[in-house]
Amino acid sequence: MIAAPSCPQCAMENTYPDGTLYVCADCGNEWSTASGADSSDEPAGNVVKDANGNVLSDGDAVVLIKDLRVKGSSITLKMGTKVKSIRIVGGDHEIDCKTDAGSFMLKACFLKKV
């Protein structure tokens, strides 16, 4: 049995093959180890996907799929809250957005594209 390579994004070794891709169980990163051109129609680089697997891009509108408590505050972002004009950024929290409650950095796994 061949050992799966470590994740290129977080360098953890908790990875597994999924079809033609490798998936990191720690950070959720997916990548291909095949050299050459990728045949998918997705843009190269860091692709951010919502909870349903739809590719998100700058300016999209999204909806929260669960209540999110804001650390260090009594604010709770409610499920079903629509967030317009998101911005994709790097890091653990991939989405930068503004709501009526303020500006927040959110993880894409708690959002779905509208």
For the chain, give the percent of residues with pLDDT over 70.
87
CATH superfamily, region 62-113: SH3 Domains (2.30.30.40)
Bigger pLDDT: 113 or 45?
113
Hey, where are the domains in the chain? 1-40, 62-113
Task: Return the pLDDT at 88.
Answer: 92
Give the pLDDT band (50/70/90) at residue 6: confident
Residues whose CB is less than 8 angstroms from the CB of residue 23 and which lie 6 or more positions away in sequence, other chains included = 15, 16, 17, 29, 30
73-105 pLDDT, tens per residue?
A: 999 999 999 999 999 998 888 999 999 889 999
**Integer Cα distance of 16 and 69 in angstroms:** 32
pLDDT over threshold 90, residue 4: no
First CA to last CA distance, the chain:
42
Q: Torsion over CA of 34, 38, 39 and 43, rounded to 10 degrees?
A: 150
CATH number of 1-40: 2.20.25.10
